[in-house]
Amino acid sequence: SMAEKGGFKHFMLKEIYEQPRALSDTIRGRVLSDQGKIVFEEFGLTRDEMRRIEKIYLVACGTSYHACLIGEYIIENIAQIPVEVDIASEFRYRNIPFEKNSLFVAITQSGETADTLAALRYAKKFGVKTLSICNVLGSTASREADAVFYTHSGPEIGVASTKAFTCQIVALYILSIGLSIAKGVFPKIFIKNLLEELLLLPRMAEETLLLDKKIQLLAKEVYRKPNFLYLGRGVNYPVALEGALKLKEISYIHAEGYAAGEMKHGPIALVEEGFPVVFIASDDLYLEKTISNIEEIKARDGFIITISSSKEEKLKKLSDRFIYVEGINSYLNTVLFSIPLQLLAYHVALLRGCDVDQPRNLAKSVTVE
């Protein structure tokens, strides 16, 4: 009913709109920004245990796997610890020569995904310390891991994950800051700044939701296209993967995410007049490179949709449709850019008459291998 959906037409839309609140619930109680500190106990790991970690394995399925890929960039930059990311169904059957002082992190909204649980058990068998980043309280992953960090996103009903994903990014951001503090990688003032920026996120997510009408109009222009390409660099590469997955899952349009720098090695062959390419770009050191990629798509008459925190004239001029998102920092912008991508998938699926909350062949939680 409309009532259980809080007046929204679908759970997915309700959950997209719940993000400002969900994000602040993930942050609350974990961050003491005025002191430039995080609450280590929230990770079930002591500061000393965090200090000793020399290698991190991030493992998950589906959308949670994309959060891992984002986490890889964040942890390597902020905590300067080497990270390896894998899909749980692959990880569980590998022969991994685990490095000592490793931390295995399972990321799972439900805490019940069979492959993710198998990967967690595999790591435990080798005596690796394990942490679950989970949303569902008391779930199997939360019980079986040595430590658990809850995202507190609230129940997610829509099969396509939205708020759970953006809260997972925040959890990884907080984890990376914890590790960074424990290892003393950066001066206190730098950490304090990262934490203060985090506190801006819920309000900025609220602002970003105001793009909904604009995205709805964009959806009307593109919903009949049979293929989409999503491109980003650096931490926005996994954002592109997730944008494509969201569209594919609920609208059944073929969509592919790619690293922008890799497009010339394949996907560019598909580009012809009107072919939609979604670019995701922060106002950072990657911007110039992304603009070059956009120029290459432009030269082939592709239809360029840009989602960016940059107001660079050249970027706007090259784009057929330009979606400006007020940014915070490159890491947290991944959360903000995900919002218009979720809304685009939602509106396109709606226009195509798809069952947004219950897409065919998909399950909310995959409890069998």
Out of 24, 26, 63, 334, the residue judged to bind ligand G6P by CB under 6 A: 63
Q: How far is CA 337 from CA 24, 186, 264, in A?
A: 17, 27, 24
- The 343-362 contact track toward ligand G6P, x by CB under 6 A, reads -------------------x
Nearest in space to 173 (alpha carbons), one of 54, 283, 329: 329
| Residue closer to ligand G6P (CB basis): 109 or 290 | 109
Closest distance to ligand G6P from the beta carbon of 110 (Å): 3
| Residue closer to ligand G6P (CB basis): 113 or 310 | 113
Check residue 64 for interaction with ligand G6P (CB under 6 A).
yes
**In this structure, what is the dihedral angle of CA atoms 343, 345, 346, 350, given to the nearest 10 degrees?**
140
Residue 51: how many other CB atoms lie within 10 Å: 15
Check residue 334 for interaction with ligand G6P (CB under 6 A).
no
Kindly identify the residues of this chain, within the stretch 188-227, that bind ligand G6P according to CB under 6 A. none
Tell me which stretch binds ligand G6P (CB under 6 A): 18-26, 156-164, 252-260, 291-299.
156-164
Nearest in space to 115 (alpha carbons), one of 162, 250, 243, 123: 123
Out of 161, 309, 330, 334, the residue judged to bind ligand G6P by CB under 6 A: 161
Check residue 130 for interaction with ligand G6P (CB under 6 A).
no
Tell me which stretch binds ligand G6P (CB under 6 A): 15-23, 43-51, 75-83, 157-165.
157-165
| Residue closer to ligand G6P (CB basis): 114 or 199 | 114
Closest distance to ligand G6P from the beta carbon of 173 (Å): 18
Greatest Cα pair distance in the chain = 57
Check residue 342 for interaction with ligand G6P (CB under 6 A).
no
Whole-angstrom distance, CA of residue 240 vs CA of residue 164: 17
- The 88-127 contact track toward ligand G6P, x by CB under 6 A, reads --------------------xxx--x--x-----------
Closest distance to ligand G6P from the beta carbon of 320 (Å): 30
Closest distance to ligand G6P from the beta carbon of 278 (Å): 20
| Residue closer to ligand G6P (CB basis): 32 or 362 | 362
Check residue 159 for interaction with ligand G6P (CB under 6 A).
yes
Tell me which stretch binds ligand G6P (CB under 6 A): 14-22, 71-79, 158-166, 262-270.
158-166
Closest distance to ligand G6P from the beta carbon of 327 (Å): 25
| Residue closer to ligand G6P (CB basis): 142 or 329 | 142
Active site residues: 364
| Residue closer to ligand G6P (CB basis): 160 or 335 | 160
Check residue 139 for interaction with ligand G6P (CB under 6 A).
no
Closest distance to ligand G6P from the beta carbon of 34 (Å): 33
Q: Which residues pair with 133 in a beta bridge?
A: 107, 149
| Footprint on this chain of ligand G6P (rule: CB under 6 A) | 61-64, 108-110, 113, 116, 159-161, 362, 364-366
